[in-house]
Amino acid sequence: MTFTAFMLGVVSGLAFASIFVLIALSLTMVLAASGVFNFAQGTIVMGGTILAYLFAVKLGWTPLVVVSVILGVGVIAGLLTHFLSVWPAIGRAKAFAHTTVLTTIGLGTAANAVIVLLFGGESFPVPSFVTDDPVRLGSVPIRPIYIVMVLSGAALTLIIDRLIRGTALGHMFRATLEDPEGALLYGIDTRKIITLSFGVAGALSAIAGFLVAPVIHASAFTAHDLAFYGFAGMAIGGFGSFAGALVGGVIVGLIYGVVPVVLDPHLTVPVMWLVVVAVLLVRPSGLLGTAGLFGSARLREV
Amino acid sequence: MAQHSAIAARTATTSTWIAIALILLFASIPLVSGGSFALSRYIVALAYVITAIGVNLAMGYAGEFVLGHPVIIGVSAYTAGILSARLGWSIGATLPCAIATGVLAGLLIMSPGLRVRGWYYSLITMFAVLVLPPVAMMAKPWTGGEDGLTGIKALTLFGERVPDWALFEISLLVLAASWWLTDNFVRSGWGHRLRALRDARHAAESVGIDLTHTRLVVYVLSSVPAAFAGVILAYSTRFVGADMFGINLMLMFLTGVVLGGPGTRWGPVIGMAPLLFLSFWVGPFSPYNAIGLGVGLLVGTLLFPDGVMPAIADALLKRRLRQPNAASGGNPARPSEIAASAAVFGEQYTARSGGGGATPGGHGDAHILRASGVTKHFGGNMALAGVEFNMRRGALVGLVGPNGSGKSTFLNAISGFLRPDAGSVQIDGRNTAGLPVHLISRAGIGRTFQVPQLVEEFTAIENIEVGLVAAEPHAIVSSLLQLPSTRERARARRERAVAAFHLVGLPDSAMDIPASSLPLGLKRIVEVGRAVVSAPRLLLLDEPAAGLNDAERRQLGQLLQKLRDLGMSVLVVEHNVPFMMDFCEELVLLEAGQVSCTAMLDEPLPERLVSYLNYKPTTVPASGGNA
């Protein structure tokens, strides 16, 4: 293995990292606002890759139209997840977090299978929307789509961060993330905020699917893997912490890029699983997580 | 009084007979069913139900939500297949190896459960299912990679080839054995440990149950059926492919157990049946199968949060209980009964605490508890700032102090739930600072909690029995087989629990109803029963009188004095001043994390305590409200 090969792994790893960060962020956002781990998030990402193929290749729409339609579909998918699998469980279930993991696993799996029925089981290449001629950085050739992925991923993360820190809505959102019951006492309609978080997370996940489609192709069978990478990023980085989602996403991306080059492509998932287990055995709340969930003083056991 | 348990016992016997009848019915399938193809599909179904029984043990009874069982089946099936196809080993050698590797895989997958909890843990074990296929691809020379493993030799026993119908009967036998052994296990003392681990973790630790050890036992026992299923699959289909052990199989176990009713004896069987039919009808790899499983899980979880079986059982039980005299109201235990049980209990108590009893000096030390310089920080907040406190053996001491003065923190520090930053704690002459909770408990501490921690589905008696199981030998094999020694232990346990039940003065009507339907006051008393049944030398009570009415409070106070008279040292944290003044013999005032004053109640109270209590014996009635 040469240095160039290794650096290629690092570069593609960073490109994937920006996508995994987006998935981890959408998981974190929903988890923080509502205490739900939304397993169906992986399905929404996979749906994004398939819509990218249908709209851009089959229908030949321009990238801007494709992006806006996918954003809209993502919001709808997020809201559907909420109203089908989470909303009915509110106030009904003894262990809400636990019940919603089951319902979102059920919904996600059923939705995956429906997509297989509609779209078929094949995998279709999706052309990138930029040139495929590599840019050279020293001896390392870099695919331009990787640059697009990193830039868009970083931009989206920044936008989310600004929105949450800078606007009044963002403040309500953060109050809900920190302490839902406290927010309720301040007169914030936390149910609306929770619904909103599902919508925003859905859009974020769908756009992540759109961005990653050119490198993983459009296939109905990627949802579980994508959910796993997002979960791994969140678990390694730390519960509900946005910085944690960033760090975890990057670590997962690097494992994803480097392990196939250094060891064996088949070892990517096993190594990642072992890393997650090792991190959690040493630090059950992840690298940047605190003992109380989401950095709040309140201990919410999950 | 014993109506509930009588019905439960009758139902259990009936359902055992139904199980036997069903097994016999299924055993006759090969007589009527044609074709080895149909038979081999039935064998697959049996293997899945066998696995579901193991899943139910971990998920239902022990509350460890593990989803990685397809990996265990896969590892075991590959082991058996590879040893047979590549090395030509016979079943006598492949079976133990496959079980061993399967159980090891199970331990690896479930090990995060020792640190991580809740759905986080479920997802880690679930994503383990994604790990097996790529590993199988890498080991292509052994596993056959994408093509799968072929060439597994037909099963032979005693030099004879085993026909398909016999393999079916063997699988059915394994199923019956798994069901029976699991059922025995959860009805032994281990059932108490498992359910306490699930519903009342802190209480389990506080009565001396080693949670880590209990979890490891659960992980192994839950893996064994899946490992057997793997061997059955390998010899039945004589082919092993990585896609046989995917997410859909995981989903089938999850949906089956959740739908059927986790923690019930019939749940896994009832829950798996419709899913197996669906899978046969549309094919295991069909999207319709996944849709059915997914929708089943989504709708089933919302409609039957506890599963189908508990819903049915509830309906049946309600109908039968709606007979006259069913609810006999609260008739408290008769005084003579209490006296008798106190005598029984006192005997056990002196026997257990090595003849120490009320007389000081088990270890030549007049103090049961010596705490010195105990300090605990939470961030910048100093909850305990060097507590100096010695407690006389056989005393009934009240710990008072304003909110946030560190009373509960102090109880948690001596019972081990919090590790003190500095200082020493000696219980009965043993240094216990820094020991895990269950070991401190075994040094002779019993305690209750502010919010009662009970196994909700257990009756009061069974909850009290939880306090006894930690001291029993593990006897896993005996529990699985329900040997006479296990029955003998169960009898002794019940006897002592009943004595403690009467001793703490629980009404007879509370004996046989699930703890979930007891009022808060009785739940607290059940907790006291669980704490004292193992005859601890030191009893810690955290706000036992909160939420009790005057009569209940007086009973509680008399109970504490009775326990003291039996030789127990009792330390009670409580806000209710009249309660403390009436029943304690010594008060300790904790302020800002330090003991600021100690006073015997038969002497004039020091100024400081009086100003805190604001207690004027002449003007406040003995049964006054909260201070």
How far is Cα B387 from Cα B373, in angstroms, rounded to an integer?
5
* Interface pTM, i.e. ipTM: 0.89
Which DSSP state fits B246?
Answer: S
H helix or E strand, kind and range, residue B367 = strand B367-378
Residue A127 lies in a domain: no
Which one of A105, A114, A290 makes the best mutation probe of the B interface by having the most chain B beta carbons within 10 Å?
A105
Could B302 and A88 be called an inter-chain contact, meaning their C-beta atoms sit closer than 8 Å? yes
Whether pLDDT at B383 is above 90: no
The CA-based angle B48-A273-B258, given to 5 degrees, is 35
pLDDT band with cut points at 50, 70 and 90 for residue B354: very low
Q: What is the pLDDT of residue B107?
A: 95
Mean pLDDT over residues B85-114, rounded? 93
How far is Cα B179 from Cα B183, in angstroms, rounded to an integer?
6
Whether pLDDT at B322 is above 70: no
State which residues form the domain around A169: 3-122+137-295
Distance of CA A289 to the CA centre of its chain: 18
Q: What is the pLDDT of residue B352?
A: 52
Mean pLDDT over residues B554-562, rounded? 90
Q: Which of A155-159, A238-242, B239-243, B254-258 has the lowest mean pLDDT?
A: A238-242
How far is Cα B388 from Cα B410, in angstroms, rounded to an integer?
11
How far is Cα B585 from Cα A19, in angstroms, rounded to an integer?
67
Structure tokens that stand for A35 in this block: 């205490």
A-chain residues near B138 (CB < 8 A): 264, 266-267
Residue A159 lies in a domain: yes
For residue B299, give the chain A residue with the closest CA.
A103
Name every residue whose Cβ is closer than 8 Å to that of residue A51 and which is 6 or more positions away in sequence. A66, A69, A70, A73, A206, A209, A210
The closest alpha carbon to B102, from B140, B132, B143, belongs to: B132
Q: What is the pLDDT of residue A19?
A: 92
How far is Cα A72 from Cα A55, in angstroms, rounded to an integer?
13
Q: Which residues pair with B594 in a beta bridge?
A: B591
Q: What is the pLDDT of residue B620?
A: 43
Residue A166 lies in a domain: yes
The answer to whether residues B585 and B395 touch, using CB atoms and an 8 Å cutoff, is: yes
Give the gap in angstroms from C-alpha A240 to the nearest C-alpha of chain B.
Answer: 12
Residue A149 lies in a domain: yes
Name every residue whose Cβ is closer than 8 Å to that of residue B319 and which is 6 or more positions away in sequence. none
CATH number of the domain where residue A193 is located? 1.10.3470
Give the gap in angstroms from C-alpha A236 to the nearest C-alpha of chain B.
Answer: 12
The CA-based angle B170-B173-B174, given to 5 degrees, is 90
How far is Cα A248 from Cα A242, in angstroms, rounded to an integer?
10
Count CB atoms within 10 A of the CB of residue B385. Answer: 15
Whether pLDDT at B570 is above 90: yes
Q: Outline where B238-367 has alpha helix (H).
A: 247-260, 267-282, 287-303, 308-321, 335-352
Whether pLDDT at B176 is above 80: yes
Q: What is the pLDDT of residue B323?
A: 45
For residue B136, give the chain A residue with the closest CA.
A266
What are the start-end ranges of the E strands in B158-219? 160-161
The answer to whether residues B486 and B479 touch, using CB atoms and an 8 Å cutoff, is: yes
How far is Cα B421 from Cα A228, in angstroms, rounded to an integer?
39
* R_g of chain B computed on alpha carbons: 28
The answer to whether residues B489 and B470 touch, using CB atoms and an 8 Å cutoff, is: no
State the DSSP string of B477-531: HHHHHT-HHHHHHHHHHHHHHHHHHHHTT--GGGTTSBGGGS-HHHHHHHHHHHH
State the DSSP string of A138-158: TTEEE-HHHHHHHHHHHHHHH
Which one of B120, B130, B293 makes the best mutation probe of the A interface by having the most chain A beta carbons within 10 Å?
B120
Which DSSP state fits B263?
Answer: T
Total tally of structural domains belonging to chain A = 1
Structure tokens that stand for B430 in this block: 């043993």
- Distance of CA B368 to CAs B359, B374, B393, B417, Å? 12, 16, 5, 19
Q: Which residues of B, range 294-313, sit inside 8 Å of A by Cβ?
A: 294-299, 301-302, 305
Residue A219 lies in a domain: yes
The dihedrals phi and psi of A123, each to the nearest 5 degrees, come to -115, 125
H helix or E strand, kind and range, residue B191 = helix B189-199
Q: What is the pLDDT of residue B358?
A: 41
Q: What is the pLDDT of residue B450?
A: 86
Q: Which of A24-38, B397-411, B538-552, B605-619 has the lowest mean pLDDT?
A: B605-619
The closest alpha carbon to B398, from B256, B575, B620, B167, belongs to: B575
How far is Cα B471 from Cα B132, in angstroms, rounded to an integer?
40
How far is Cα A213 from Cα A52, in angstroms, rounded to an integer?
7
Residue A300 lies in a domain: no
A-chain residues near B126 (CB < 8 A): 105
Name every residue whose Cβ is closer than 8 Å to that of residue B557 and which is 6 or more positions away in sequence. B545, B579, B582, B583
Q: Which residues pair with A233 in a beta bridge?
A: none
Q: Which of A207-216, A292-301, B377-386, B406-415 has the lowest mean pLDDT?
A: A292-301
Q: Is any Cβ of chain B less than 8 angstroms from the Cβ of A297?
A: no
Q: Is any Cβ of chain B less than 8 angstroms from the Cβ of A231?
A: yes
Predicted model pTM: 0.88
What is the identity of the amino acid at B74?
Answer: G
| pLDDT per position as a tens digit, B28-59 | 887 777 666 788 889 999 999 999 999 999 99
Residue A215 lies in a domain: yes
Which DSSP state fits B130?
Answer: G
How far is Cα B509 from Cα B333, in angstroms, rounded to an integer?
9
Whether pLDDT at A231 is above 70: yes
* R_g of chain A computed on alpha carbons: 19
State the DSSP string of A8-34: HHHHHHHHHHHHHHHHHHHHHHHHHHH
Burial class of residue A133 (count of CB atoms within 10 Å of its CB; 0-12, 13-18, 19+): exposed
Whether pLDDT at B327 is above 60: no
Q: What is the pLDDT of residue A291?
A: 47
Q: Return the biggest CA–CA distance within chain A.
A: 60
For residue B199, give the chain A residue with the closest CA.
A95
Q: What is the pLDDT of residue A173?
A: 75
Which one of A109, A273, A276, A298 makes the best mutation probe of the B interface by having the most chain B beta carbons within 10 Å?
A109
Residue A301 lies in a domain: no
Mode of pairing for the β-strands spanning B538-542 and B367-378: unpaired
A-chain residues near B288 (CB < 8 A): 113, 117
Q: What is the pLDDT of residue A274?
A: 93
